[in-house]
Structure 1
Amino acid sequence: MTTSTRPAKPLAVAANPMPSSSPAFGTPVHPIHPRRAPPALQPASKPTVLPILLPPATLRPLAFRTFTKKHNLTLTSSALQALATFVGKHCGAAWREEGLAEKVLEEVAKSWKKCRGQVIVDGENETLRGILKTLDGSMLGGRIVQGSSLSRHSSFTFGSEAHAMPSRPGLESTTSFGMSRLEVRDDEEEDEHLRDPRDWLQVVGAFEQPRMVYNVIQKHFDKSAAKPSLFPDPSHKTELFRQRYHLVHQRILRNETFQAPTFSTTRSATLLRAGSIAAAQANTITPVANLLGRSGSTHLLLGMLTVSPIGTLSLSDLTGTIALDIQHARPIPETGAHFAPGMIVLVEGSYEEDSGASSGLGGTGGIGGTIGGKFIGFSVGHPPCERRTATLGGTEEADKSTLQGPAFGWTDFLGVGSQRATGSRMNKIASKLLDPETAHTVVIASDLHLDVPSTLTALRTLLRTQTPDPTATHPVYPLAMVFMGNFTSKASLAGVPGAGSIEYKEHFDALASVLADFQQLIAHTTLVFIPGDNDAWPSAFLSGAATPLPRKAVPPLFTNRVRRVVAEANREVWGAGKAKGKEGEVIWTSNPSRLTWFGVKGEMAIIRDGLAGRLQRTSIRFSKPEPDVDDDMPFAPSAQQNEDSHDVMDLDVPSAPAHASHNQQDELDLDTKTARALTRTILSQSHLSPFPLSARPLHWDFAHTLNLYPLPTSLVLADSEAPPFVVKYCGCTVMNPASLDESGGRGRRVGKARWVEYDIRTGVGVVRSEG
């Protein structure tokens, strides 16, 4: 008799004809058996690490850099052996590639200093054994698990009992709460290697910036988990403009001008200033699709200016498109902003339907298409700008234009922490490290044409000006020096004679020779280089035309000489036996990019682009109003905002007074008007490139890096076609250094340098010129 092995009989489930006790909440009819629990309810598997035998000599360079150079500690051979055994056991073969050993050694060194151990770390000491024993229970997958006693604020706590609460599923990481990657703790300022403000400077490239997607349903930002690509799906092009519209729309709805009437005293005063309740009702945004069947009525639309296939101007939102007639419309303000296709604007006017739209089918289309008829505009204005404090909050004076608190205080937009999570701690550290008697400046220069001899002369003038007197007791060096392209006056690698790859590399070798003469300066500051349209590699196939943004940094193939010069200066200045300090470094980053200091406390957005010329070429021309036209328009949020004392622009234009009032608008020169219009347009649009993709190409999956929401602390619009200026508007300092060589390579003023200095403590920028 043969016996066959049968599969195990499935568990019998008793028949139960009764339905679920709560169908609305999805309660199952039968209980879930533990063996058949779905994967989401099963315990997560712990990552395992294969131990390795790590020789102490292999770990010695990393241990020396962490213990000796950072913390001024000396390791004995027994201590090095103990650390090598611990790292090999818990970190495995990935101890070097993933940086696991460096984090472990950093934690051990700080724990040793916290226990007030001696300068010499001995392996036979009970303190080191206790630290390793405690750390042994906190290791998981080669990393220190969050929530351990050694981690720095890795848990999101609200009270004293928060550590005893289990973590919620799906929230094991605190990045959604905006916890900083700077790993700040209460005694962080006591660490010797964090006493220099340059330690808190961080450059965030466009390809490193996290992508935040606005959730229309839940009214907050979600971090996109999809990996961006240079060859995305065509649907991402549509999503690009949808996100831009959502950002502007939610910003407008939180503005007090567009709030529903209430019985509060503040709102009543606003209605009294407006003249009537009808003025407040006029600031209700109407979707384009809702215009059908409402001919002759007045509405306020929010949409993007577009050009239809037949060449007429149209206005589009998420519901549809309508032809726009602005023959008698007035821009608000009349001479202080640009209006061009691709911008999201507010248009007030009257809808006039044609005979084909009387049936409600929209003439040439229905909802989601082109609406029949046309919209006759009375006034066109930019969306009101929102201050950074209204978006994130902070210790600065709250924005008086809104009755609400910060909208997204817990959101981490750049991956450096959120205002509500780390803002107060960063402010304390900044107040201790930023001396009120010392200038903590960031030097910004643009159009560093290395193939023009006069530009190199101007660069020497700039470097000589920034080098302090060597006999000074406390020399002050700039925190960072930002140099922007184009690094050649003509497109490189594009077949132009004298602009090949060999010549392009020789230009940077010439730059290295100039920097080598200022070793003290480059050893005490951070050099940041941002490319332009004429730089490699995009110029090789676009010949200096508008390259898609964002664009990557200059390839290391051409910049190795500059890196070696900075490294040599660090060895000469910070060599053995000399005072310790923050070494100089050179960073080649993307265009655009961000420079942050002290986490979310300060942010500088930087872009090299010809914005002024593109705005002048694509802007819409409005007809001049009649002299007897009444100036009191029913809709003028931008005009009301300009009259507000909080939003008056502070100017620093070399050819104009330092502070020009709003009443002197007609008396200002052309350079000042250009600076005002460029600043108001870009900040109101909250985007660095508010143009159609045909005018300025963008990488669809990286277009979020050009958003100016929340508003940065400062903005650098490097444009050689615009005059140099420094303008402060809505709390944001907007700067344009123009060309470094003020002479343009010719004339009597050869070698005269021009740049902008920005103080991160006071938020004040100044245009400098030396020759």
Structure 2
Amino acid sequence: MSFDPVPSSSPGFGTPAHPIRPDKSASIATRTSILPILLPASTLRPIAFRTFTRKHNLTLSSPALQSLATFVGKNCGSRWREDGLAERILDEVAKRWRKAGGGVIVEEGKGASLKAILQMVEGNMSGGRIIDPKTAPREGLLRTMNAEGVPRLHPSTSMTMSGDQELEEPGDTMIHPRHWVKVIEAFDIPRLTYNAEKKHFEATKSKPSLFPDPSHKTALFRDRYNIVHQRLLRNESFQVSVTSTGVLGLQRSASSFAKNQAYRLTPIANLLGRSGTSHLLLGLLSISPTGELSLADLTGSIVLDLSYARLIPEDGAWLTPGMFVLADGIYEEEENVRGSALGGNTGVGGAIGGKFVGISICGPPCERRDTSLGLDIHENNRNISSSGGFSWVDFLGVGSERARGPRMREIQTRCLREVHDGLELHRRLKIVVMAEVNLDSTKILDALRKIFGLYNGMDLRERPLAFVLIGNFVQKAIINGGGQGGSIEYKECFDMLALILSDFPSLLQRCTFIFVPGDNDPWSSTFSAGASSAIPRHPVPDLFTSRVKRAFATANSQVDRGHISEPQGEAIWTTNPSRISLFGPVHDIAILRDDISGRLRRSAVGVSHNDTEIGEARSNTANLEDQVYAQDQPGAGTSSQASHTMKSARKLVKTVLDQGTMSPFSQSLRPVLWDYASSLQLYPLPTAFILADCDAAPFCVTYEGCHVMNPGKFIPEGELSSMTWIEYDVLKNRGRVKEDRF
């Protein structure tokens, strides 16, 4: 027995002469008595600002600050200033908010929950201090009481309270890349809207509907305008002080797009009373009720005259109603405007009298993905920039760049390493893309058999992760009924595909097959008869795909995966459009099946090119875009890039990405489900964009860091035994158009 240094006053009963000295764990329990106080939020504001804003780059809303003040007053009492108790609590709350993937603004919402974080922190407090479960004795932790004297149990000791150590991901043991492939349907993408007042994206609280209130249609274009507007103001050309350049005066013979000038946007409503002055407008191209071309923003609309306008760069993009454009020109006010009873006045959001004579016009400049997310890239390192960005926003529902990006890149590096016979080998991540796969054509079925045979004979490390098959899966629109083009014939097409796939069980066991429908596929084609149906649209119904799923189940049942880390092969039918996420936010691949180029040619707005009136003025923005065109392109400046095909591809890519949406058209040209329009946005830019446009030739073009691929038709027009597809290298972010004969 150990000697007890405390003498006993009664040796017979073992009564000590002095109270027994408490151990460390007991002292923790005796210091839990706290007298709560009412702490005003204004008193806590300086410490909260120093901790949340300066240290963690977060912004506290007023309700959140009040909740924190109540929490600190309750758990720290009058000693909240002593030993920095409040500052430590606020620092812990900020760390947990960041780990939970909350936004820049700390407030209650559908993302991270401040209430849940405070409850978790309160469960690990004693005497106004946060207790680390890994360092505190277990007995003391179990006896810790809260302010009401109720004993509380703490989380498991595997959780750290310091916030400096990363929590281990539950799936870190999954080392095969296909474990991290996630196909996200358009209807599952978070519905985000840009709050112009808070300068931040927030989740839409209303429940989505296929028959929403008419105000949602207005909100659709308002949200697009706000996103383009904030993106434009982040451009360096709009951030230079105008004091050094003076007044931005214009002459009709020259554009205000000039070098070393700061651009300043003018709201359309502010044109009233400023006849003969030059301005730069950002607005939506639309057709007015009188049939005239007009420009509209959040303040009003005005007739747009493009008789003297010049497109910048010349023939570099399409302009159609439904697109946002930058128009530089002169406002001319008329006393009596034809077709308008407003004259020189305007109502709220109404038409303004007179007209705006455009001198130069172009689309809003695009923004690179890293700039939108606020990342500084140095070689292979990505750091959070101090210039702002939306790295905290979870745009796809797979985690934000700041919360999960670094961790996912570590997992990617681990997944790509393989050691065989002492040699370290690296897997290749490839995706095969085919479009206009008409399964009712015997030629295409023969071509599919040939291409599956090519990849089936490759080494396992060279095989693609996924095959993306894009419709239309039939040449004519399916009609819900018997006879030619009926549902029975449509199911037989997929039954034939199942027979071909069954001949390559190795591919079915080790690859993911993704099917994206077209306008001829059910069920929307039943009512549209092959015309443009509303997007996003649902995947091919399970009614037609049962035989294909059975082929995958049969192939996977033949493999004993007891010691295999590779997941089973699967077939996924997804929406149009959809997204492929690989390693969380690291790789974002957007997919769209739509003949955009044909629709652009049919509805484009003509712009005259009058060099005598306009002169040779070019904008800094145009020069920048010309440079971006040439960069990232192999053999830039060669005669092959000057070909008509490459020019058309660049023109198409620039038009779509500059608008920041997959459908830059008016509702009459391409209907969009109003409540799901956010799933079509291309902001921030994806890492890659599969634009399946069968009206355009196959191409692979990189613009502002986004690699855009068009596989074209699987069997081109006029070809009898030639097939075309794209092989995309995910790590290099480059695709190649491949051709072969069958």
TM-score band w.r.t. shorter chain: 0.7 to 0.9
TM-score (norm 2): 0.73
1:756 aligns with 2:726: yes
2:635: which partner in 1?
659
Counterparts in 2 of 1:218 and 1:487: CA distance versus 1, 3 Å: same
1:426: which partner in 2?
408
Q: Report the Cα distance in structure 2 between the residues aligned to 1:737 and 1:223, rounded to whole angstroms.
A: 34
Q: Report the Cα distance in structure 1 between the residues aligned to 2:624 and 2:659, rounded to whole angstroms.
A: 15
Superposition misfits of 4+ residues, deviation over 6 angstroms: 21-25, 38-43, 150-153, 274-278
Q: Could you say what secondary structure the match of 1:415 adopts?
A: coil
Contact kept? 1:603, 1:713, Cα under 8 Å: yes
Contact kept? 1:536, 1:554, Cα under 8 Å: yes
User: Among 395, 398, 413, which residue is 1:413 paired with?
Assistant: 395
For residues 67-106 of structure 1, the aligned pairs below 5 Å read none
User: Among 325, 339, 352, which residue is 1:345 paired with?
Assistant: 325
1:222 aligns with 2:223: no
Q: Report the Cα distance in structure 2 between the residues aligned to 1:190 and 1:324, rounded to whole angstroms.
A: 57
Q: Report the Cα distance in structure 2 between the residues aligned to 1:424 and 1:148, rounded to whole angstroms.
A: 26
2:621: which partner in 1?
638
TM-score (norm 1): 0.70
Counterparts in 2 of 1:754 and 1:648: CA distance versus 1, 3 Å: same
Q: Report the Cα distance in structure 2 between the residues aligned to 1:510 and 1:347, rounded to whole angstroms.
A: 53
User: Among 317, 328, 351, which residue is 1:370 paired with?
Assistant: 351
Per the TM alignment, residue 356 of structure 1 is displaced from its structure 2 partner at its CA by 4.5
1:4: which partner in 2?
none
User: Among 475, 478, 481, which residue is 1:492 paired with?
Assistant: 478
For residues 349-498 of structure 1, the aligned pairs below 5 Å read 349-356=329-336, 363=344, 365-394=346-375, 396-397=377-378, 405-435=387-417, 437-469=426-458, 474-493=460-479, 497-498=483-484
Q: Report the Cα distance in structure 2 between the residues aligned to 1:671 and 1:694, rounded to whole angstroms.
A: 29
For residues 202-221 of structure 1, the aligned pairs below 5 Å read 202-221=182-201
Q: Report the Cα distance in structure 2 between the residues aligned to 1:589 and 1:147, rounded to whole angstroms.
A: 43
Per the TM alignment, residue 150 of structure 1 is displaced from its structure 2 partner at its CA by 7.5
Q: Report the Cα distance in structure 1 between the residues aligned to 2:702 and 2:258, rounded to whole angstroms.
A: 34
State the one-letter code of the partner of 1:525.
C
Q: Could you say what secondary structure the match of 2:207 adopts?
A: coil
1:257 aligns with 2:237: yes
Contact kept? 1:605, 1:715, Cα under 8 Å: yes
Q: Could you say what secondary structure the match of 2:737 adopts?
A: strand
Deviates more, 1:525-534 or 1:428-437: 428-437
Q: Report the Cα distance in structure 2 between the residues aligned to 1:277 and 1:520, rounded to whole angstroms.
A: 58
Per the TM alignment, residue 275 of structure 1 is displaced from its structure 2 partner at its CA by 13
1:575 aligns with 2:557: no
Counterparts in 2 of 1:534 and 1:152: CA distance versus 1, 3 Å: farther
Q: Report the Cα distance in structure 2 between the residues aligned to 1:278 and 1:769, rounded to whole angstroms.
A: 45
Per the TM alignment, residue 640 of structure 1 is displaced from its structure 2 partner at its CA by 2.2
Contact kept? 1:314, 1:324, Cα under 8 Å: yes
Q: Could you say what secondary structure the match of 1:591 adopts?
A: coil
Q: Could you say what secondary structure the match of 1:570 adopts?
A: helix
Contact kept? 1:382, 1:638, Cα under 8 Å: no
Q: Which sections of structure 1, spanning at least 5 residues, go unmatched?
A: 1-20, 26-37, 44-133, 138-144, 161-183, 269-273, 652-657
State the one-letter code of the partner of 1:711.
L
2:665: which partner in 1?
691
1:671: which partner in 2?
645
Counterparts in 2 of 1:692 and 1:328: CA distance versus 1, 3 Å: same
Deviates more, 1:421-430 or 1:672-681: 421-430
Contact kept? 2:259, 2:620, Cα under 8 Å: no
Q: Report the Cα distance in structure 1 between the residues aligned to 2:203 and 2:153, rounded to whole angstroms.
A: 20
For residues 329-340 of structure 1, the aligned pairs below 5 Å read 329-340=309-320
Q: Report the Cα distance in structure 2 between the residues aligned to 1:148 and 1:385, rounded to whole angstroms.
A: 47
Q: Report the Cα distance in structure 2 between the residues aligned to 1:311 and 1:392, rounded to whole angstroms.
A: 41
Counterparts in 2 of 1:695 and 1:368: CA distance versus 1, 3 Å: same
Contact kept? 1:728, 1:734, Cα under 8 Å: yes
For residues 198-347 of structure 1, the aligned pairs below 5 Å read 198-261=178-241, 283-347=263-327
Contact kept? 2:241, 2:262, Cα under 8 Å: no
Per the TM alignment, residue 24 of structure 1 is displaced from its structure 2 partner at its CA by 11
Contact kept? 2:326, 2:361, Cα under 8 Å: yes
Q: Could you say what secondary structure the match of 1:355 adopts?
A: coil
Length, aligned pairs only: 586
State the one-letter code of the partner of 2:311.
P
For residues 680-759 of structure 1, the aligned pairs below 5 Å read 680-742=654-716, 744=717, 747=719, 749-750=720-721, 752-759=722-729
Q: Report the Cα distance in structure 2 between the residues aligned to 1:650 and 1:277, rounded to whole angstroms.
A: 26
Q: Which sections of structure 2, spanning at least 5 residues, go unmatched?
A: 1-38, 44-65, 72-140, 145-151, 247-253, 418-424
Contact kept? 2:505, 2:555, Cα under 8 Å: yes
Per the TM alignment, residue 575 of structure 1 is displaced from its structure 2 partner at its CA by 2.9
Counterparts in 2 of 1:590 and 1:210: CA distance versus 1, 3 Å: same
RMSD: 3.7
Contact kept? 2:439, 2:494, Cα under 8 Å: yes
State the one-letter code of the partner of 2:734.
V
Q: Could you say what secondary structure the match of 2:585 adopts?
A: coil
Contact kept? 1:411, 1:418, Cα under 8 Å: yes
Contact kept? 2:630, 2:636, Cα under 8 Å: no
Contact kept? 1:209, 1:705, Cα under 8 Å: yes
Counterparts in 2 of 1:463 and 1:394: CA distance versus 1, 3 Å: farther
Counterparts in 2 of 1:660 and 1:366: CA distance versus 1, 3 Å: same
Contact kept? 1:343, 1:691, Cα under 8 Å: yes
Counterparts in 2 of 1:543 and 1:625: CA distance versus 1, 3 Å: same
Q: Report the Cα distance in structure 2 between the residues aligned to 1:496 and 1:332, rounded to whole angstroms.
A: 53
1:505: which partner in 2?
491
Q: Could you say what secondary structure the match of 1:523 adopts?
A: helix
Q: Could you say what secondary structure the match of 1:511 adopts?
A: helix
State the one-letter code of the partner of 1:624.
H
Counterparts in 2 of 1:152 and 1:391: CA distance versus 1, 3 Å: farther
State the one-letter code of the partner of 2:353.
G
Counterparts in 2 of 1:617 and 1:649: CA distance versus 1, 3 Å: farther
1:648 aligns with 2:624: no
Contact kept? 2:282, 2:324, Cα under 8 Å: yes
Q: Report the Cα distance in structure 2 between the residues aligned to 1:534 and 1:148, rounded to whole angstroms.
A: 54
User: Among 615, 620, 627, which residue is 2:605 paired with?
Assistant: 620
User: Among 584, 588, 591, which residue is 2:573 paired with?
Assistant: 588
Per the TM alignment, residue 149 of structure 1 is displaced from its structure 2 partner at its CA by 3.7
Q: Could you say what secondary structure the match of 1:604 adopts?
A: strand
Q: Could you say what secondary structure the match of 1:465 adopts?
A: helix
Contact kept? 1:300, 1:349, Cα under 8 Å: yes
Per the TM alignment, residue 630 of structure 1 is displaced from its structure 2 partner at its CA by 3.0
Counterparts in 2 of 1:575 and 1:670: CA distance versus 1, 3 Å: same
State the one-letter code of the partner of 1:715.
F
1:70: which partner in 2?
none
Contact kept? 2:272, 2:345, Cα under 8 Å: no
2:738: which partner in 1?
768
Contact kept? 2:374, 2:385, Cα under 8 Å: no
Deviations for 1:310-337, whole angstroms, at most 9, x for unmatched residues?
Answer: 2110000000000000001000111121
Q: Report the Cα distance in structure 2 between the residues aligned to 1:607 and 1:258, rounded to whole angstroms.
A: 32
Deviates more, 1:325-334 or 1:429-438: 429-438
Contact kept? 2:255, 2:360, Cα under 8 Å: no
State the one-letter code of the partner of 2:211.
F
Q: Report the Cα distance in structure 1 between the residues aligned to 2:395 and 2:686, rounded to whole angstroms.
A: 11
Deviations for 1:377-430, whole angstroms, at most 9, x for unmatched residues?
Answer: 000011111000001144634999x99634111111111111111111111111
Per the TM alignment, residue 439 of structure 1 is displaced from its structure 2 partner at its CA by 2.3
